[in-house]
Amino acid sequence: MITALSGETSDASRLRATVDFVREQDTATLLRLLLPGLDGPELRALAERCAFSHAALLVFPSGRAELEATLADCGLVADAPPTPSVVVRERLAVRHKRRAAELDVAILRPAVECRDGVRRTVEVFALTVPPGSGLGEVAAYERARQHETHVAFEVEAPDPLVLRGLCAAFGQYGATPDGGGYNPHENGTVFYFAAPAEAKAGYGRVELYVPGDHRDLLDAHMEAHRARQPAETLLRLLTGAWTTQALAAFARLEVADAMDGERGVGLAELAHTVGALAPNLATLLRYLTMLGVVSEDRDGFRLTDTGGLLRADAEGSMRSLALMYGGPFYASFAGLDHTVRTGQVAFERHFGENHFEHFARDPELAGLFDQSMAAGARMFDPLPDHPVLVAAAGGAAGRAAEAAAEGAAAVRAVEAAAEGAAAEGAEGATVVDIAGGNGELLGRILSAHPRLRGVLLERPHTVETARRLLGAAGHTGRCAFLPGSFADVPAGGDVYILSRVLHDWDDDRCREILRHCARAMSPTAELLVVERVLPDDGSASLATAWDLHMMCNVGGRERRADHYARLFADAGLTLVGRSPLPLDGTVLHVRRA
């Protein structure tokens, strides 16, 4: 076994041993030592995609002068000034229960000329330990355990497929995820692995360094690491409520609206604009920085793409969702155990009425709820291109003969849409959006297909909101507005839509709603049902989270596709197809049986 740092504890002696180790190694030899069993084509493939770049250690100078003297004593010269460490500083803060701001950790990378002719580096992490600072205990602990000592390989081509393959290969030969992070100062992503117990390199940790921002892949790596730390995993899960309220507070205070993604804003200016205490706002912003909602640099705080969605004026704004999930729905979730035990909806127990009645009595809350429903509108992006709607837009499908047998108001709604469309020269079919909210989805469909006509069926107060919004989009001439309930589904439509409606109700009520649809539909009419469908195999899905939400707050549920198929059959309908949508959505294509 090669023991790089055996028995030597002073910074200078540890640094010399690291220099000697780097000088003697090459990529293929070191990979074979770290991952026993790796050989042949697999070894060559890995060696072609990542290269041994450095060995690292953590030292503890009292200041810059002592650090430079130690480097010089080991024959090392730093080619560039130190840069701040993010990953190691955060790890030390967590390990020693200290604020990261208390720890001054820098990175230097002096070069070493190696025996194989390659120029590599020694990565020196330097935690400054001024006399009397109280950090001596941290230094003694870290010297003894050498947690930050590791060897590193730099990925030659930072392609996501290559990176996934490298991580999988390390796992195949016994290395396990051991943390990591993104360093914005260098725009580099670090993936740490614990070397297998039988490794013979003398180093217990391995780093894959990838230039660029690869936090999407890092998330899965970190999740695997946390799965091996059950207490930490549980603690992170238990603090999920803090995240909800931090985002809701950020939205309520309108902090996002006082920021942008281009210009950094100073803390004092932000606090003054939103009317908050600067130190308290700083605590909130630090937490949101950890979540990736905001970022901080020398110019102050700025919004990330994620945080930008909490601006009221952002396209696809999700501010209303943050206010709903951090407001009434948050309050009702405190009664989840009561729902699980008794079946009583927690929202109704907390507020004394169901959520539809509660929102209807409060116009401001009702408006917020309708906005929150529209906030998930990215789910609708592909829907106007569904073959059913494309075909319907191709020509007049005609209203069904059964229309005359239905209620006069329903017939007039479809006729009004047809008359308005005729005045504009449209010849397409009629789309009926049942409980269509503020018209977000119907508006998208009418914008995509100028030949289509629309009917929106909703509660009276919501119909008026939809009338204003669709009017502002220029669709009033092709759209009729029908105040009413599910019993008022109009006949004569060519395509009917139920978007995120059935999950609000139990099976009996769903059958009733679907029977109203079936009675209104002609033999040639189509029904599109948009829902989050529970996966058949139990894999991770937003539908599973929403299933819990619907049970607690509405008394409804999410369902599997076969469950929906049974409900359709009970109502005289049949499921003929399904297609995926964004945000784990699904569109179910249904016809009369």
Three-state helix/strand/coil letters over 546-564? HHHHHHHHCCCCCEEHHHH
User: Which of 225-228's residues contact partners 24+ apart within 8 Å by CB, and which partners?
Assistant: 225/176, 225/177, 225/178, 225/179, 225/180, 225/192, 228/176, 228/177
- Is 536 in the same domain as 393? yes
Amino acid, res. 12: A
Q: Which two tokens stand for residue 570?
A: 């009970």
Whether residue 31 lies inside any domain: the answer is: yes
Whether residue 425 lies inside any domain: the answer is: yes
Share of the chain above pLDDT 70, in %: 92
Task: Specify whether 516 is catalytic.
Answer: no
First to last CA, the chain: 73
How many CB atoms sit inside 10 A of residue 143's CB? 17
Of 198, 231, 264, which residue is a domain's last? 231
Judging by DSSP bridges, how do beta strands 479-483 and 453-458 pair with one another?
parallel
Pairwise CA distance, residues 577 & 528, whole Å: 10
Amino acid, res. 73: D
Pairwise CA distance, residues 213 & 195, whole Å: 24
Pairwise CA distance, residues 433 & 444, whole Å: 12
Please give the radius of gyration of the chain, using alpha carbons only, rounded to the nearest integer: 31
Average of pLDDT values for 216-224? 88
| Interval 546-575: pLDDT, tens | 999 999 999 999 999 999 999 999 999 999
pLDDT value at position 579? 95
| Interval 300-319: pLDDT, tens | 999 998 999 999 999 889 99
Pairwise CA distance, residues 85 & 444, whole Å: 47
- Is 193 in the same domain as 264? no
| Interval 141-194: pLDDT, tens | 999 888 899 999 999 878 888 898 899 999 999 999 988 888 887 889 999 999
Whether residue 336 lies inside any domain: the answer is: no
DSSP characters for 401-438?
Answer: GGGGGS-HHHHHHHHHHHHHHHHTT----EEEEET-TT
- Reduced to 3 states, what is the DSSP secondary structure of residue 27? helix
pLDDT value at position 427? 59
Catalytic residue among 503, 516, 549, 589: 503
Of 199, 231, 263, which residue is a domain's last? 231
CATH value at residue 111: 3.10.180.10
369 closest CA partner among 504, 447, 479, 462: 462
368 closest CA partner among 462, 228, 267, 271: 462
Angle at 330 between CA 342 and CA 553, to 5 degrees: 40
Whether residue 46 lies inside any domain: the answer is: yes
- Is 469 in the same domain as 404? yes
- Is 160 in the same domain as 246? no
Range of the domain at 304: 239-326
Among 117-131, 413-427, 551-565, where is mean pLDDT lowest? 413-427
- Is 285 in the same domain as 200? no
Pairwise CA distance, residues 557 & 297, whole Å: 44
CATH value at residue 535: 3.40.50.150
Residue 92, CA distances (Å) to 23, 127, 165, 497, 575 in order: 28, 10, 30, 54, 56
Count the alpha carbons within 13 Å of 192 in the hemisphere toward its beta carbon. 20
Whether residue 2 lies inside any domain: the answer is: no
Alpha helices (H) in 75-204, listed in sequence order: 87-96, 136-145, 160-172
Amino acid, res. 469: L
Average of pLDDT values for 343-352? 94
Among 21-30, 121-130, 375-384, 493-502, where is mean pLDDT lowest? 375-384
pLDDT band at residue 412 using 50, 70 and 90 as cut-offs: low
- Is 227 in the same domain as 268? no
Average of pLDDT values for 360-377? 79
Whether residue 527 lies inside any domain: the answer is: yes
Torsion of CA 307, 310, 314, 318, to 10 degrees: 120
Whether residue 3 lies inside any domain: the answer is: no
Phi and psi of 314, rounded to 5°? -75, 145
Cβ–Cβ under 8 Å, residues 34 and 151: yes
* pLDDT for 422 beyond 60: no
- Is 185 in the same domain as 245? no
| Interval 501-533: pLDDT, tens | 999 999 999 999 999 999 999 999 999 999 999
Cβ–Cβ under 8 Å, residues 428 and 421: yes
Share of the chain above pLDDT 90, in %: 61
Q: Which two tokens stand for residue 420?
A: 């308005």
Pairwise CA distance, residues 75 & 12, whole Å: 11
How many CB atoms sit inside 10 A of residue 327's CB? 17
Looking at per-residue pLDDT, the higher value among 7 and 382 belongs to 382
| Distance of alpha carbon 289 from the chain centroid | 15
DSSP for residue 177: E
